[in-house]
Amino acid sequence: MNEIYLFVVILIPFIGGGLAAALPWKKRTHMLVYLEGLVTLTSVLVWMLLLNRPDGVFTLLNFTGNLTIAFRLDGLGCVFAGLVSFLWPFATLYSFEYMTKEKHEKVFFMFYTITYGVTLGIALSDNFLTMYCFYELLTLVTVPLVMHTLTREAILASRKYLYYSIGGAAFSFIGMIFILVYGNTSEFILGGVLNPEALVGRENIFLLIYVMSFFGFGVKAAICPLNSWLPQAGVAPTPVTALLHAVAVVKSGAFAIMRLTFYCFGTEFLRGTWAQYLLMGVVMFTIVYGCSMALKETHLKRRLAYSTISNLSYILFGVVIMTPLGLTAALSHMLFHAFMKIASFFCAGSIMHQTECHYIYQLDGFGRKMPKVFAVFTISSLALMGVPGLCGFISKWNLASAALESQNVFAYIGVGALLVSALLTAMYMLNIVVRAYYPAADFDYNKIKNVKDPNWMMILPLFVFVAGIVIFGLHSAPVMEILTAVAAGSF
């Protein structure tokens, strides 16, 4: 397809989202149909792009000097764009039902749809500057979503989110400058673009800058100690927490880090340096820390948010192994975690939508009353734990084999961290499952007799995601082949 479509898919959600808020809708249904159509159209276009990929670059404008705002679809972008565009229509469908109980729908859907465009923008960026622009934009368009309920809590959360994200971007900005100045080109090229001559004798400065920008992007990927915005941002409506704070936004952070590590600084330069060890240490700590905090948390969504923190660091662990295998593993976890976490978040959302229950101790006996939701929740929990046969196992397996293959003894400890985290995951997830299915013997089911499964708009996405979890778990070979090719630069 023509390169211009790369820009079109980004533009459609922008304009369409704006229109959704601007047009005077007579009926709610009309708006919903319109939105779903819009999102699906974009997704279809994205998939058409993925299937017959334009080779060229679409340059939107020249920024300054040789800096351009340009789009291109490379392997890594394909993975992220494909993931996002698959999830978005379902998440939108889900949010239709969810938002019936919330106010200011129009504004919500406007930003929700625009975020789609921005996320695609990040995925399709051809160079660092473009990605950085969309990255900042992502923060801005998601803030209204976090703020949506306009409670004091939400305002504080969105404020924190803003400070953290923009602050993080400020540090990754430094990395960008270095790449712009010392790179042979600012385009993303697998293997890095740093000019080797510029490096001589100044390795430490470059590593320092790399670490800084890693942390900068790491804010969105919620690495410790920059993670506290994420659980707080859980005050947003669940479709936001599920899609954005488990997939789009946080994975953008991880995606940016992949770009930074593999496509800008280059792993040849970074592997075996203090920067790698430092970051590996941080990432491992986050893996365990996130899980421990999740275990401590009694608020369902916040627990899931902490779980996200830990799982994002799985991805980053794959990245800091800094081998193609590591990237493959990181990508696979990025993909699979999206499915697992969005499924569990949507379950949490369904529970909140149906019952107003926010805390785990309120969920006694729900398993029998919401069988579908809890079936999904159970499967996603098992997948998160990494039970074989579900997709979580595959990505963990990949991460561990990448770590072992790298011959980096420090990475072995990371494998240990993964497993400790898996155990903690088992604890905090199964605790909920057991409680829901097996309340204490004296539990009175009359207390929750009004609790029931939500309607199809919520259930359908759940089932789709679960199908994904199981299919990827049982038959991951095709996906893994693609991801391996991406990491090798041959896709």
Interface of this chain with other proteins, residues 214 to 243, rule: CB under 8 A: 216
Cross-strand partners of 62: 68
Residues numbered 48-67 forming contacts with other proteins, rule: CB under 8 A:
61-65
Query: How far apart are alpha carbons 39 and 90 in whole angstroms?
Result: 9
Q: Which tokens belong to 71?
A: 């789009």
- The single residue among 1, 57, 278, 420 that binds other proteins, judged by CB under 8 A, is 420
Residue 41 or 471: which CB sits closer to other proteins? 471
CB atoms within 10 A of CB 425: 24
Question: 377-395 b/e with 16+ CB inside 10 Å = b?
Answer: bbbbbbbbbbeeebbbbbb
Is residue 487 a contact point for other proteins (CB under 8 A)?
no
Tokens of 482: 């693609």
Q: Which of 34, 277, 285, 397 binds other proteins (CB under 8 A)?
A: 397
377 alpha carbon, distance to own chain's centre = 19
Instruction: Please say which residue, 56 or 416, places its beta carbon nearer to other proteins.
Output: 416
Q: How far is it, in rounded angstroms, from Cα 322 to Cα 280?
A: 10
CB 395 within 8 A of CB 336: yes
Please select the residue that binds other proteins; options are 427, 460, 470, 471, rule is CB under 8 A: 427
By the rule CB under 8 A, 474 interacts with other proteins: yes
Q: Name the DSSP letter for residue 127.
A: B
Please choose, out of 129-137, 225-233, 355-363, 463-471, the segment that lies near other proteins by the rule CB under 8 A. 129-137
Q: Between 43 and 380, whose beta carbon lies closer to other proteins?
A: 380
Cα(57)–Cα(73) distance, integer angstroms: 8
d(CA 47, CA 53): 9
What percentage of the chain's residues is helix, strand, coil (to nearest 5)?
75, 5, 20
What's at 136, amino acid-wise? E
Interactions with other proteins, residue window 365-384 (CB under 8 A): 382
Closest CA to 161 of 222, 213, 95: 222
Query: What torsion, rounded to 10 degrees, do the Cα atoms 39, 40, 45, 48 define?
Result: 150
Residue with Cβ nearer other proteins (41 or 430): 430
Q: How far apart are alpha carbons 414 and 318 in whole angstroms?
A: 10
| 86, 96, 182, 346: residue in contact with other proteins (rule CB under 8 A) | 182
Of residues 183 through 202, those in contact with other proteins by CB under 8 A are: 202
Contact predicate 333/347, CB 8 Å: no
Residues 256-315 that bind other proteins (CB under 8 A): none
Single-letter amino acid, residue 285: F
Of residues 6 through 35, those in contact with other proteins by CB under 8 A are: none
Instruction: Between 33 and 423, name the residue whose CB sits nearer to other proteins.
Output: 423
Identify whether the C-beta of residue 313 lies closer than 8 Å to the C-beta of residue 321.
no
Amino acid at 275: A
**Would you say 310 and 427 are in contact if contact means Cβ atoms under 8 Å apart?**
no
Look-up of token digits 């990040």:
122
The 3-state DSSP class for residue 187 equals strand
Contact status: 162 vs other proteins (CB under 8 A): yes
Site for other proteins in 324-363 (CB under 8 A): none
Binding-site size, other proteins (CB under 8 A): 77
Residue 491 contacts other proteins per CB under 8 A: no
Q: Which of 50, 212, 278, 357 binds other proteins (CB under 8 A)?
A: 212
For residue 1, state whether it binds other proteins (rule: CB under 8 A): no
Under rule CB under 8 A, which residues in 433-452 are in contact with other proteins? 434, 437-441, 443
Q: Which stretch binds other proteins (CB under 8 A): 186-194, 227-235, 256-264, 424-432?
A: 424-432
Q: Does 140 bind other proteins (CB under 8 A)?
A: yes
167: contact with other proteins by CB under 8 A: yes
Does position 467 bind other proteins by CB under 8 A?
no
Taking the complex as a whole, how short is the minimal distance between the CB of residue 349 and other proteins, in angstroms? 24
Residue among 50 and 430 whose Cβ is closer to other proteins:
430
Q: How far is the CB of 72 from other proteins (least distance, A)?
A: 18
